[in-house]
Structure 1
């Protein structure tokens, strides 16, 4: 059942909306990236703000930006949150929630998240060990 749900959900595109053309999207006007929630406090898209915060050692700020990007359908952000939680990098380790984020990223087509999810199922990290699901997600990551 999980595999059928995963295949069904993978066929749905939930990516972030494309910004309108012909204007400065950082300006904050109608239809801008700021208005659509694409821009973080640093003046860049949330994923870029997250990268900047990580480089400066501000993991909680990075996670805030990653969550905003993930809510907009950014699979990289979903995977990154999942890996941070799985490893406990700068936050309390929470493998179950981390695996959930990896699953969401995998459903959005993120190949590295699929590979990480396969590893999680193989090793029982945040999920029950399941060699069938481990093989499935590992194969999907190729």
Structure 2
């Protein structure tokens, strides 16, 4: 029987990028360098960039040479990038429907059920950075909820 989606095959890896300037006044309340987050997903076919922007969602499959280091490109551009993470199973339950749409909620959804709770990009960064030091980068339910 074929897997339901690519996550079932375990072939995807997710990197979360942080950065952003205050293009809207309310963003100035957030920590500089952590006013926005986005995700890049690598699979057997290449890269997918998932960029939640104000008022729309950008999803792109850039045409890059095989082996291109997209997270490294973002780091060289001055952004902070964490990963790779292997996404866990999809989150189930009532909480995702009640949480507002934001760049943080979208990145948490891509990480799956065990993604750490965070409201701001810097909060997500702190939780994922702490998790990265453990060297276990498979997101599961028990690992980040503590």
Q: TM exceeds 0.5?
A: no
| More RCO (CA 8 Å, sep 6+) | 2
More helix by share: 1
**TM-score range, shorter-chain basis?**
under 0.3
Q: Give the alignment's TM-score, normalised by structure 1.
A: 0.23
Larger Cα Rg: Structure 1 or Structure 2? Answer: 1
More strand by share: 2
